[in-house]
Amino acid sequence: MEGSGVKVDTIYCGDACELLEQWAPGKVDLAFADPPYNIGYIYDKYQDDLPDQQYVAWCRRWMAGCQRVLKADGAFYIAIGDDFAADLRIVGRELGLHLRNWIIWHYTFGQNTRAKFARAHTHILYFTKHPDRFVFNDRLLRYPSARHTEYQDLRASPLGRLPDDVWDDFPRVCGTFRERAGFHGCQLPEALLTRIILASSNPGDVVLDPLLGSGTTAVVAKRLGRKYVGIDISEEYVGHARERLKQVRDESRAQPQGHRWPELHEDMLAQLYRETKVSAANLLPNEVALRVIAASLSARTGAQYDAGQVRERLQLLADKNKLPKLPNDTAFVARSHVKSEGKRYVRQVKRWEGRRGKAEESRGGARNAI
Ligand SMILES: C[S@@+](CC[C@H](N)C(=O)[O-])C[C@H]1O[C@@H](n2cnc3c(N)ncnc32)[C@H](O)[C@@H]1O
């Protein structure tokens, strides 16, 4: 970024608040930040248990830094947990940012709880610097609606529908995932950042993540042909993120070569499948839905795909067991609990019940003592 004191396609190791204050204003198109949530999580360098007011003051400082370096038509997304989402929304207002959406990212496999409902979501605050001047590439976000998938309705928009503000199509990065880098416990899914970067930037734009962690924002920005700038305070994370980035190419102009599809295009098709939420068995015969997927895939990738190619590739991915798992997408097969696996299950249930009984006894004891 000319004259800004910042080099693009660079990951800085340092304090985001200090660095952002030194950089020239108005150079960044999109900022994304996923701060520590002040819940006592263990990081390499950062202490995640500040007094509440101190935590909010710290967030205000890096938020003000991001707001300053954003261009006049820039966008700013912040992922944040329950405890401080409302505080950061207010800080955003005080800084003059405009809230366009308060997104809920709902993921499965929330942590188990006994005395309250399991927490299975993160808030994503989507702000823009200007109330009505901003980039929002709606064409790149669309997928088939129920009118396509349920009714094969030809009158429904052939471009598909936009996601709403509850996002339930991005599973958290599990241990078995190919994309898992394995050195940072808070790694966000690439598909989530893909939606945000596609929505709010264009190829060649500058994407900033001031609290970069494992490097996901920079990885996705690079794949999509954006320029990235990342900051993290941990030398260890920065070292790993730089290595992770070396494995990634700009695939924004990649085109299929016959039957060989760029990896980015296959990943985008898999994500469209997840967004459509219809199992392959029901989707493959549905020409109307496949046409919408082809239109959206073409918009997202810049290549030209038709419904036939999409059907063929989905079938191939299904045959190789590479399609994302959807709820209830496989036929039910009853298990015989007489067999050994059934006995093991019964033994496990007894063990759980035993443990639960003891826990309840001790809780009951404590209650009686009050
Ligand atoms: C929740 S993690 C980000 C995870 C990231 N979104 C990902 O996908 O991997 C927050 C990061 O902020 C970093 N951090 C904390 N304080 C910082 C500061 N003052 N400046 C820069 N980075 C900081 C931590 O080291 C941590 O890696």
Q: Which atom of ligand 1 is nearest to the CA of 213?
A: 27
118 Cα–ligand 1 center, Å: 25
State whether 55 and 180 are in the same domain.
Answer: yes
Atom of ligand 1 nearest to the CA of 17: 19
What is the distance between the terminal CA atoms of the chain, rounded to a whole angstrom?
64
Report if residue 228 sits inside a domain: yes
In a domain, 369, yes or no: no
Cα(275) to centroid of ligand 1, in Å? Answer: 28
The pLDDT score that the predictor gives to residue 110 is 62
For residues 241 and 316, state if they share a domain: no
d(CA 74, CA 69): 9
- CA 92, distance to chain mean position in Å, is 21
Per-residue pLDDT averaged across 306-315, rounded? 98
Confidence of residue 369 (pLDDT cuts 50, 70, 90): very low
Residue 219 has pLDDT above 90, yes or no: yes
Residue 366: predicted pLDDT: 44
**The predicted structure's pLDDT at residue 349:** 77
Helix (H, G, I), strand (E, B) or coil at 176: coil
Residues with CB under 6 A from ligand 1: 15-17, 34-36, 43, 45-46, 184, 186-188, 211, 213-214, 216, 231-234, 237
Give the mutation target among 211, 214, 231 for probing the ligand 1 site: most ligand atoms within 8 A of CB.
Answer: 211
341-362 pLDDT per residue, tens? 667 777 777 888 888 777 767 6
Say yes or no: 227 and 274 in one domain: no
Amino acid identity, residue 330?
A: T
Kindly state whether residue 179 falls inside one of the protein's structural domains: yes
Query: Which residue range(s) make up the domain with 326?
Result: 253-351
pTM assigned to the model:
0.91
Residues 225 and 274 in one domain: no
pLDDT tens digits, 123-157: 999 999 999 999 999 999 999 999 999 999 999 99
Q: Whose CA is nearest to atom 17 of ligand 1?
A: 233
| Exposure class string for 282-294: b at 16+ Cβ within 10 A, else e | ebbebebbbbbbb
Average pLDDT over residues 324-330: 88
Pairwise CA distance, residues 101 & 365, whole Å: 46
**Residue 77: per-residue pLDDT:** 98
Name which residue sits closest to atom 6 of ligand 1, judged by CA.
Answer: 34
For residues 25 and 55, state if they share a domain.
Answer: yes
Contact present, 265 and 303 (Cβ < 8 Å)? yes
Does 275 share its domain with 235?
A: no
User: Comparing 67-81, 175-189, 301-315, which segment has the lowest mean pLDDT?
Assistant: 175-189
Task: For residues 165 and 184, give the distance between their C-alpha atoms in angstroms, rounded to a whole number.
Answer: 27
Contact 192, 170 (CB under 8 A): yes
- List beta partners, residue 158: none
CATH assignment at residue 231 = 3.40.50.150
pLDDT of 331: 84
Q: Which of ligand 1's atoms lies nearest the C-alpha of 209? A: 6
Q: If we measure between CA atoms, which residue out of 159, 137, 139, 140 comes closest to residue 148?
A: 159
Indicate whether 28 and 146 sit together in one domain.
Answer: yes
Site to probe by mutation for ligand 1, drawn from 46, 62, 245 as the one with most ligand atoms within 8 Å of Cβ, is 46
- 104 CA distance to ligand 1 middle (Å): 21
Mean pLDDT computed over every residue of the chain: 92
Q: Are residues 170 and 260 in the same domain?
A: no
One domain, residues 240 and 259: no
Q: Do the domain assignments include residue 301?
A: yes
Residue 338 is predicted with a pLDDT of 62
CB atoms within 10 A of CB 41: 13
211, 229, 246 - which closes a domain = 246
Classify residue 358: in a domain, yes or no: no
Helix (H) or strand (E) holding 91: helix 82-94
Residues 320, 203 within the same domain = no
Closest CA to 233 of 7, 12, 61, 6: 12
Under a CB-based contact definition with an 8 Å cutoff, are residues 39 and 83 in contact?
A: yes
* pLDDT score at 288: 97
pLDDT tens digits, one per residue of 70-99 = 999 999 999 999 999 999 999 999 999 999
**Average pLDDT of 195-210?**
98
Decide if 365 is inside a domain: no
Q: Are residues 71 and 189 in the same domain?
A: yes
pLDDT of amino acid 347: 79
Number of domains forming the structure of the chain = 2
Residue 198 sits in the same domain as residue 309:
no
The reply to whether 367 falls in a domain is: no
Number of neighbours of residue 16 by Cβ within 10 angstroms: 24
Residue 45 counted as domain residue = yes
Q: What are phi and psi of 331, to 5 degrees?
A: -65, 145
Closest CA to 254 of 242, 243, 262: 262
